[in-house]
Structure 1
Amino acid sequence: MSELRWFKSSYSSDGANCVEVAYLPGGRLGVRDSKHPGVAALTFSRSSWVAFVTGISVGEFQA
């Protein structure tokens, strides 16, 4: 997955401690830790990722 174009959120405070996302073939997304880019990335369908990000934005995962 190293040949993919990985990007970080513009909201990242220092650009070092965040996740990176890449668009994968077939409409999937890859997510990896920016501190460990060589470790395997997680992959998600586009609909799963949208549901996750939406849940974060509405506070669904707050304890």
Structure 2
Amino acid sequence: MKAFLTYIFIFFFAFSLTSCELAGGIFKGGVWTGVILVVGIIAVVIWALSKAFGGGNRN
């Protein structure tokens, strides 16, 4: 039943949106997902480098 509802929503959006609106929505979502992933990866790399090279408290 859940898969059936998913297909209904897909068909509804496919027929209700024009191709330009659909492509624009996908592009906007992709851009923000990419930005968030890149910022997250950079933060993890900086954190790992700070841990590797002695960042933090030394007792």
TM-score (norm 2): 0.34
Larger helix fraction of residues = 2
